[in-house]
Amino acid sequence: MIRDITIGQYYPAESVLHRLDPRTKILCTLLYIISLFLFQEWTGYLIATVFLCTAILLSKVPVTFIFRGVKAIMVLLVITVVFNLFLIPGEPVVRIWKLTITDQGIRTAVFTAFRLIYLIFGSSLMTLTTTPNQLTDGLERLLGPLRVFRVPVSELAMMMSIALRFIPILLEETDKIMKAQTARGADFESGNMIKKAKSLVPLLVPLFVSAFRRAADLAMAMEARCYRGGSGRTKMKPLAYGRRDAFAYLITVAYLLLLIGVMRFTK
């Protein structure tokens, strides 16, 4: 399960989406996420589905990769569905013991589940088509104005890109340590919450030790390669908007307007 988190995993391919400016992708994803909260109707989902599917097709990322992201939030998804199913008041449909499932509950549960899944699909698609470095470059530029308030934007961006690079490595390491401990009789699966939490201690200690060692090594390697903060650096891949970015903004805004229009119309 732990390896299924796709955030921060780049899928290399040659596609329009890959070539888009990261700023475009970040802002359009943001607009898309906002759009998911604008509607409660089937028509809205239809439009969002068309938009999402087109994006996925254009990206040339295999669908299995995009689904992996959902696996990681499965628990959250189940909890949300269950709560919505039983706790929303409305016309009762099924009665099990003291619990009632209402028609409104089913509706909300399904919509919320889809909303979450669509949210993950959209953001996974962004991280899958954007290298971590491009992603942070994009954020760095978008947040650039905050420098006025003495926010160290470049340094924060660097921290983020390093975090993204090391997430898969640390996850792999967690997996390895877990297997090693399981082989020696450690039990991470059974017992109540407290017991489970306790069993994580022998996992976290070596993980932290190794993370700190890596951090120290990496800092030294960066210094050895002349890193001295954000100032005075040039960019290998400087960001520049192209025509396709204008096009992407246009389509996303059109999608948003269409959605709002349809919502108005159906009400």
List residues near other proteins by CB under 8 A.
8, 10, 12, 131-133, 161-162, 164-165, 168-169, 213-214, 217-218, 220-228, 232-238
Q: How far is the CB of 242 from other proteins (least distance, A)?
A: 16
Q: How far is the CB of 192 from other proteins (least distance, A)?
A: 36
Nearer to other proteins, 193 or 226 (CB): 226
CA separation for the pair 233, 221 (Å, rounded): 17
Nearer to other proteins, 122 or 132 (CB): 132
Helical packing angle, 74-87 and 63-72, nearest 10°: 60
Nearer to other proteins, 36 or 137 (CB): 137
With left for phi above 0 and alpha for psi between -120 and 50, is residue 150 left, alpha or beta?
left
Q: How far is the CB of 131 from other proteins (least distance, A)?
A: 5
Nearer to other proteins, 21 or 44 (CB): 21
Q: How far is the CB of 226 from other proteins (least distance, A)?
A: 4
Q: How far is the CB of 97 from other proteins (least distance, A)?
A: 49
DSSP H helices in 98-152: 103-129, 132-143
Q: Which two tokens mark 230?
A: 């954000």
In sequence order, which residues have a C-beta less than 8 Å from that of residue 229 and are 6 or more positions away? 154, 155
Nearer to other proteins, 41 or 217 (CB): 217
Element (H, E) at 212: helix 201-224
Element (H, E) at 94: strand 92-96
Q: How far is the CB of 148 from other proteins (least distance, A)?
A: 24
Q: Which two tokens mark 215?
A: 């951090």
Q: What angle do CA 26, 27, 33 make, to 5 degrees?
A: 90
Nearer to other proteins, 78 or 221 (CB): 221
In sequence order, which residues have a C-beta less than 8 Å from that of residue 248 and are 6 or more positions away? 20, 24, 25, 28
